[in-house]
Copies of this chain bind each other. A is one copy, B any other.
Amino acid sequence: MKNIVIATLATTSLLFSSSLYDAAKGAGLKPIPADKSELMRLIDNPKNPITEAKVRLGEKLYFDPRLSKSGIISCNFCHNLGEGGDDGVEAAIGHKWRANPNHVNSPTVYNAVFNDIQFWDGRAKDLEEQAQGPMLAHPEMAATSEHVEAVVKSMPEYVAEFKEAYGKKVKITFALIADTIGLYERTLVTPSAYDDFLNGDKNALNTKEKEGLRTFIDAGCATCHTDVGLGGSMNMLNITGTYKHMDVGSFKGDKNGMVRVPTLRNITQTAPYFHNGKIWSLKEAIKEMGKIQLGAKLSDKDVASIKVFLQALEGRKPKVMFPMLPASTAKTPKPDMN
C-alpha cells in the first residue's frame, strides 16, 4: 500500500512537471543547451569561430583599461563579471565621470549572446558590433579606433597572441579587436537550475520554483521574456504611457519607440532595473511590468511567486582567471584624463 501511494505521488508530481514542462516549451521558453556541441552551435559566430586562443585573448582585452582614453576604464568596469555582469548603478558612469547621456542602465553581458540584437535600442546586430560602441563613446571609454589599435599593437605580447589566434598574417584592426572581445562575450553564458529543469531534470526546480514558473507563464510574462534569453527581442515599452518612472532622459527607444526586452537571467544580481535603472526592488519591477506591459494588476502572491522563479535563474558563472595583462611599452599611448 505504502509503495502504491508513493508511486501515485511520484506520478502526480511527474505529471505536474511534465505539464509545466510542456507549458514552458509552449510559451517558447528554451534552455541553455546542456549538450556542449549544441550550445556551441547556438553561441558561435560562423564568421569568426570560437577557439581557446581567441577566448583567452578576448578576456584580456575585456579586462584591459588601457583600451580607454584615460587608461582606467575597461569593458569590465561597467559590465563587471563579479557583479552579475553589470555595474549596479542607474546609469553607466564613464570617462570624466560622465553619466550616460540617455541615462540608460548598463545591461548585463552574461547571456547577451542570446539577445536578437544589442543595446537597448537594438542598434547593433551582434556582440561584435556592440563591442565597438562603448570603446568609442565619449561618456564611456572615450577612445578612438586609432587609440585602441595603437595600444594593442604597442605590446609584443598582444601582437603574438593575435598571431596565435588568427594566423601570422593577421592585421590587427579596431574591428578585429572588437570582434575578439565580442567573441569572448559569446562564451559568458550561465546555465541555471531552470535550464536543468528544461533540459529534463524534473527535480532541478523545487515546488515553489515550479509554481513560480507556472505563474510567470500564466501571467503572460513569457510573451516578451521568452526563448533562451528570457528576453532579447525588440518590443514596445509603454514609455509614453503609464510608466511610473518617466525620467528616461532623452532615450526614446528605437525609431519605432521599441526597446529591447532585457534578459531575466541573473536578474537577482543586476538591480537596478529597467532601461533607466529607476527601480531597485525586484518585486516592484515585477508589479510594474505586469501593470504597464500586461495591463494586469498582479497580486502580492503572484509577484512573490514569480520572484521565487526568477531567483532560480541565477546561473552558474564561467570561472574567470583574472588576466595578467602585458606591460605597456614606450609605444603605448599615454593615458589622457581630459
Once A317-B324, A322-B321, A334-B280 are accepted as A-B contacts, the answer to whether A72 and B84 lie under 8 Å apart by CB is: no
Q: How many copies does the complex hold?
A: 2
Task: Say yes or no: is A71 at the interface (Cβ < 8 Å to chain B).
Answer: yes
Min CB gap A331→B, angstroms: 11
Question: A119 vs B97: C-alpha distance in the bound complex, in angstroms?
Answer: 26
The stretch among A87-95, A123-131, A217-225, A287-295 that forms the contact with chain B is: A87-95
A84 in complex: contacting residue of B66, B82, B327, CB < 8 Å:
B327
Q: Are the C-beta atoms of A328 and B70 separated by less than 8 Å? A: no
Size of chain A's interface in residues, with CB distance under 8 A?
41
| Closest B residue by C-beta to A98 | B97
Majority-rule SS of A interface residues? loop
Residues of A297-338 at the interface with B, using a CB-CB cut-off of 8 Å, are 314, 317, 319-325, 327-328, 330, 334-335, 337
Q: 14 A–B contact pairs at CB < 8 A?
A: A65-B83, A66-B88, A70-B89, A71-B88, A72-B77, A72-B93, A82-B322, A89-B335, A90-B335, A97-B337, A99-B337, A271-B328, A317-B324, A322-B322
Task: Say yes or no: is A63 at the interface (Cβ < 8 Å to chain B).
Answer: yes
A88 in complex: contacting residue of B90, B317, B320, B328, CB < 8 Å:
B328
Interface residues of A (CB under 8 A from B): 63-66, 70-72, 77, 80-84, 87-90, 93, 96-97, 99, 268-269, 271, 280-281, 314, 317, 319-325, 327-328, 330, 334-335, 337
Once A317-B324, A321-B320, A327-B269 are accepted as A-B contacts, the answer to whether A335 and B88 lie under 8 Å apart by CB is: yes
Question: A72 vs B322: C-alpha distance in the bound complex, in angstroms?
Answer: 18
Q: Are the C-beta atoms of A72 and B89 separated by less than 8 Å? A: yes
